[in-house]
Amino acid sequence: MAQDADRRQELGAFLRKRREELVRADFDLPPVGRSRTRGLRREEIAYRAGISVTWYTWLEQGRRTNPSRQVLDAIARNMRLSAAEHEYVLSLAGYAATGPPDTGEAHDAGDAASVPPHLQRLLDAQGASPAFAIPPDWAIAGWNRAYQMLYPNVDTVPAEDRNLLWLIYTDPTIRRMLPDWEVTSRHFLAEYRAEAGPSLGHPVHVALIDRLLGRSPEFARAWAEHRVERFASRERTFRHPAVGDLVFEHHRLAPSDLPDVHVIVYVPRVGTDTGERMRRLLAEPEAAWAVGAVD
C-alpha cells in the first residue's frame, strides 16, 4: 500500500534526522575527523541497539523491514528519544494508534454539520473564552463567538483554507497577532506531526502538506526538522489590534463521544484583564473586524 510506503519513508527520515543531530560527546564518542562533533554513524547506533548495520540502514532507507517493537524500543532508548518521539516511532511502525482512522474520506472544512449541535453548544458555553473544534485533519470545524472576535478571519476565509496549520503558516494576520510566532508555529507543527503519525500518508494530510510546502518557506524549513511533541497546556499571548495584548491558558479537550475531535479553549489568564477585554470585544464586535481588514 502507498500509505505503508509513506510511513516507512517518514520513519526512516525521522530516525536519520535525529541520528544526525545527536551530540557525540553525550555518548562518550570522539569527534569524527577534527571538527565534526554532531551526528552518530549508523554503525554506532546499530551496535548500541544490538542490530546489524545493514538492517538499520534499510530501516533509514524506508525499506520493508517489519521491525519488532523491542527493536524499535532499543533504537529509541539508545538514541535518547523523548517520550513523544518514541511514541511517534512506534506509531509509524503500527504499534500505537495515535493517528485518526483511515476512512479514506476527507473532512469538509466548510460543512457546519460536521460539528454536532451538542458540541457547538459546548463551544458557545465557553463565553468570553475563545474556543474551536478540530478533527484529525486540523480543519477548524466549529467555533464560538469569542473565537470569532479574537480571529474574525475564521468566518471569511475560504472553506478549503479553514485549517489551523494552513492559517498559522499563511495568514499574515495571525503572524502579526502572535509575538512569538516562530516558537508557536513550531509547537503546532510538532504536535500536528505527532498526532497525524501513521496517517501522514492519507490523501487529506498529503494534500495539506504539499500545499504548505509550496506556499510557505518557513513551513518547509520547519517540516524538514521532523520535530515531534505532545500537546501541553501553555500560556498564549495574542496582540489584538483593537484591545491590545490578550493572555490565555491554552487547553485541549477530547469529548468522550467524539474522541477524534479536539476542543481547543483559550481561558483568560488569571491576574490579567484579558477576560474584561474579551467581554469588551463581545460587546463591541465592530472593533474586532478591524483585524480582518488588515492586509
Digit-by-digit pLDDT tens for the chain (295 residues) are: 567 888 899 999 999 999 999 999 999 898 987 778 889 999 999 998 899 999 999 999 999 888 888 899 999 999 999 888 998 999 999 886 444 444 334 444 334 336 899 999 999 999 999 999 999 899 999 999 999 999 999 999 999 999 999 999 999 999 999 999 999 999 999 999 998 887 888 888 989 999 999 999 999 999 999 999 989 899 999 999 999 999 999 999 999 888 889 999 999 999 999 999 999 999 986 655 554 444 3
The C-alpha atoms of residue 121 and residue 46 are separated, in whole angstroms, by: 53
CA 192 to chain CA centroid, nearest Å? 2
**pLDDT for position 284:** 83
* pTM of the entire predicted model: 0.75
What are the CA-CA distances from residue 231 to residues 71, 92, 190 (Å)? Answer: 26, 18, 9
- 110 grid coordinates: 466548510
Phi and psi torsions of 204, nearest 5°: -65, -45
Give me the pLDDT at residue 176, please.
95
User: What are the distances in angstroms from CA 233 to CA 123, 267, 290?
Assistant: 18, 11, 29
- At residue 98, the pLDDT reads 42
All domains in the chain, ordered by first residue? 2-92 (1.10.260.40), 112-288 (3.30.450.180)
Distance CA 179, CA 105 (A): 36
Q: Which residue has the cell 467555533?
A: 143
